[in-house]
């Protein structure tokens, strides 16, 4: 049967891109020209903060002292999990070499970028976990310098728990500056910071657009839109658990899509019935976000069977993908497009967002069809090298000369010719492309 939409989205998760682009472009240009002073002007306007922007060791210690011990223990637990996972990821990429032909050696090296700029959202919600996810992976990768940047609150500064998480995760400096101005400060090397080679971390539409504009001058983890989540559930799933998980992700923002894909009509109808009550029971700001996201962006899709459910999921390529259905190994083997996969009721996106160890900086808006999320590998350059003996270069030079001439690139061909003439003066080679 064709997919049946029991609930259809009325909006798509896209902002007014042209207006945002022009605003961000102007701010970046102003700050690049005006330097520290101009960045401070924007901080005063948008962060409403005029305190010290580059936190001192004393300020960091004072902020950390405000964090309750239980929360510190939770942050350390999450950090340890992320660190262990990142270390295992790093072990999957190693330096190597191979003898391509006798006398010709080629290889690869994994080299960390020098400086990472990690953006940690701190506006509506204090994203403690984002500090852990971004800074820890950069430290494990081997980046020489890591700046953590987070929006300060008026009269307060960066949230103490974010400061603590950034410090124990390995940040070298903590920048109390948000939005485009914070991204610009890390990119342009303001306030005495080294220029970032890569910018990572989630942020609002202005932060995302700043990263988009700056990409090429610096590396970025990805261009991210609003967070999105999809649940695959069959008749075995618990409707209350499914509904709760959908609401938990809808609270991210008013334009955060959540989708349920199922082959069981009764489950779908029960979840649709449960969600409004669960949203009503949230605190005010969370309720407003979840209500708008569910009303305008959520979808509930009924499919014929699990094969059609899997195909539907791959078409959506969600950032977060949860399976609450039987035969989890089948789903793990079949599904191909997602940022992070959560198999079974015993795990949930919230776990991955905070503490399991896998990274929560993930591709959104269908980007999971071609890329994965933030990992230790994003901070590393996989570069190649080669060396050869004179005899080993002989067949390569001959092939290079002929291919180059067929392409019309005579200069390339002559770089091979000169070596053959020098290394094998007694030999004659047929180097014509049509020889």
Q: Is the pLDDT reported for residue 343 higher than 70?
A: yes
Q: Is the pLDDT reported for residue 253 higher than 70?
A: yes
pLDDT of residue 423: 97
Question: Which of residues 336 and 154 earns the better pLDDT score?
Answer: 336
C-beta neighbour count of 144 within 10 angstroms? 13
Q: What are the sequence ranges of the domains in the chain?
A: 17-221, 226-372, 389-435
pLDDT of residue 63: 97
pLDDT of residue 435: 58
67 neighbors 160 (Cβ within 8 angstroms) = yes
Prediction pTM value: 0.93
Q: Is the pLDDT reported for residue 415 higher than 90?
A: yes
Confidence of residue 127 (pLDDT cuts 50, 70, 90): very high
Mean pLDDT of 181-206: 97
Question: Which of residues 330 and 156 earns the better pLDDT score?
Answer: 330
What is the CA 356 to chain-centroid distance, rounded?
A: 16
Would residue 320 show up in a list of annotated catalytic residues for this protein? yes
Pair type for strands 320-324 and 340-343: parallel
Half-sphere exposure in the Cβ direction for 146 (13 Å, CA)? 28
pLDDT of residue 220: 97
% residues pLDDT > 70 (the chain): 98
pLDDT of residue 155: 86
**Among the ranges 47-56, 110-119, 152-161, which has the highest mean pLDDT value?**
110-119
Rounded CA-CA distance 104/142 in Å is: 30
Q: Which of 30, 56, 15, 60 is nearest to 181 (CA)?
A: 30
Confidence of residue 125 (pLDDT cuts 50, 70, 90): confident
Would residue 58 show up in a list of annotated catalytic residues for this protein? no
Listed in sequence order, the DSSP H helices in 110-159 are 128-141
268 neighbors 262 (Cβ within 8 angstroms) = yes
Confidence of residue 18 (pLDDT cuts 50, 70, 90): confident
Q: What is the pLDDT of residues 292-337, one digit of tens each?
A: 999 999 999 999 999 999 999 999 999 999 999 999 999 999 999 9
300 neighbors 15 (Cβ within 8 angstroms) = no
Rounded CA-CA distance 291/286 in Å is: 8
Task: Compute the C-alpha angle 226/229/235, nearest 5°.
Answer: 160
User: In whole numbers, what is the pLDDT of the chain averaged over residues?
Assistant: 96
90 neighbors 98 (Cβ within 8 angstroms) = no
pLDDT of residue 12: 80
Rounded CA-CA distance 134/362 in Å is: 11
Question: Which of residues 50 and 13 earns the better pLDDT score?
Answer: 50
Q: Is the pLDDT reported for residue 15 higher than 60?
A: no
Mean pLDDT of 369-398: 96
Q: Which residue in the list 127, 209, 254, 319 is annotated as catalytic?
A: 319
Q: What is the pLDDT of residues 128-143, one digit of tens each?
A: 999 999 999 999 999 9
Rounded CA-CA distance 231/129 in Å is: 23
Q: Is the pLDDT reported for residue 224 higher than 90?
A: no
- What tokens does 44 get? 């005063």
Contact residues for 51 (Cβ-Cβ < 8 A; gap 6+): 152, 157, 176
**CATH no. of 226-372:** 3.40.50.1980
- The 10 Å CB-count burial string (b at 16+, else e) for 215-237 is eeebbbbbebbbbbbbbbbbeeb
pLDDT of residue 1: 65
Please check whether the two domains, 17-221 and 226-372, share a CATH topology.
yes
pLDDT of residue 212: 96
**CATH no. of 17-221:** 3.40.50.1980
Q: Which of 240, 231, 245, 228 is nearest to 319 (CA)?
A: 228
Order of strands, edge to edge, in the sheet holding 219-220?
173-176, 145-150, 115-119, 198-200, 219-220
Query: How far is the first Cα of the chain from the last one, in angstroms, to the nearest whole number?
Result: 60
Q: What is the pLDDT of residues 165-175, one digit of tens each?
A: 999 999 999 99
Question: Which of residues 133 and 154 earns the better pLDDT score?
Answer: 133
């Amino acid at each position: 049967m064709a997919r049946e939409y029991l609930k259809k989205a009325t909006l798509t998760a896209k902002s007014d891109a042209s207006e945002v682009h022009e605003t961000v472009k102007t701010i970046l240009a102003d700050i690049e020209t005006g330097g520290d002073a101009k960045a401070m002007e924007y901080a005063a306007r948008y962060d409403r903060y005029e305190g010290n922007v580059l936190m001192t060791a004393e300020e960091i210690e004072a902020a950390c002292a405000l964090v309750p011990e239980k929360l510190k223990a939770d942050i350390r637990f999450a950090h340890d999990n992320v660190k262990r996972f990142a270390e295992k990821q790093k072990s999957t990429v190693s330096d190597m070499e191979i003898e391509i032909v006798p006398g010709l050696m080629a290889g690869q090296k994994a080299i960390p970028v020098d400086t990472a700029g990690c953006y940690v959202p701190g506006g509506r919600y204090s994203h403690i976990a984002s500090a852990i996810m971004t800074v820890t992976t950069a430290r494990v990768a081997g980046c020489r310098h890591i700046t953590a940047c987070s929006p300060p609150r008026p009269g307060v500064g960066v949230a103490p728990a974010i400061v603590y998480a950034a410090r124990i995760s390995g940040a070298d400096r903590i920048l109390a500056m948000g939005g485009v101005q914070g991204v610009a400060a890390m990119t342009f090397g303001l306030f005495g910071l080294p220029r970032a080679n890569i910018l990572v971390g989630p942020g609002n539409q202005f932060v995302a657009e700043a990263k988009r504009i700056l990409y090429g001058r610096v590396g970025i983890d990805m261009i991210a839109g609003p967070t999105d989540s999809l649940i695959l559930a069959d008749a075995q799933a618990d409707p209350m658990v499914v509904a709760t998980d959908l609401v938990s992700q809808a609270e991210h923002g008013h334009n955060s899509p959540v989708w349920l894909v199922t082959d069981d009509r009764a489950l779908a109808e029960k979840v649709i019935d449960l969600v409004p009550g669960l949203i009503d029971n949230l605190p005010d700001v969370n309720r407003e976000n979840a209500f708008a996201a569910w009303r305008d962006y959520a979808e509930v899709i009924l499919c014929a069977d699990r094969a059609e459910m899997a195909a539907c999921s791959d078409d959506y390529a969600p950032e977060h993908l949860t399976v609450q259905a039987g035969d989890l190994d089948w789903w793990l083997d079949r599904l191909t497009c997602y940022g992070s996969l959560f198999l079974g009721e015993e795990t949930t996106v919230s776990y991955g967002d905070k503490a399991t160890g896998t990274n929560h900086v993930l591709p959104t808006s269908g980007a999971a069809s071609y890329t994965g999320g933030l990992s230790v590998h994003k901070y590393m350059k996989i570069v190649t090298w080669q060396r050869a003996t004179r005899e080993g270069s002989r067949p390569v030079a001959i092939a290079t000369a002929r291919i180059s001439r067929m392409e019309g690139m005579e200069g390339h061909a002559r770089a091979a010719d000169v070596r053959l003439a020098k290394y094998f003066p007694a030999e004659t080679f047929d180097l014509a492309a049509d020889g």
